[in-house]
Amino acid sequence: MPKQISFDYAIIRIVPRMERAEFINAGVIVFARTLRYLDARAHLDIERVRSLYPDIDIAEIERHLSLIPKICEGGVSAGPIGELPQHERWHWLVSPRSTMIQTSEVHSGICTDPAEELEHLMKSLVL
């Protein structure tokens, strides 16, 4: 039987108008400290976003969403945040903010493979 490990995750949300408290799920970040695993997937449903917010800057949102997996990976190409230790990048990514791209509260779970869990969460919560 594969070893069970704990992991944390947060949902990436698009919040075009914070005063309306509406959001669209656009991705998931998964962190499994014991395996030193931090990764994210993002997908923007452009038609859905445009139907609710026709004037939104899709290119800007896509640009910002594309940075999240790079920050997870780390390194110089992800800018100053990418050079932080992995657990600090995780905390930076999930810290509360009042911007158009936000994350949900952090949730915890148990899995045997965090990469598989990331794909499962994407399918069930975003796609």
pLDDT digits over 49-102, tens only? 998 889 999 999 999 999 999 999 999 999 999 999 999 999 999 999 888 999
Sequence-distant (6+) residues with CB within 8 A of 93 are 10, 29, 40, 68, 71, 72, 103
pLDDT digits over 1-41, tens only? 789 999 999 999 999 888 888 899 999 999 999 999 999 99
Q: Whole-model pTM?
A: 0.94
Enumerate the domain spans of the chain. 5-125
Q: Is 43 helix (H, G, I), strand (E, B) or coil?
A: coil
d(Cα 16, Cα 4) in Å, to the nearest integer?
38
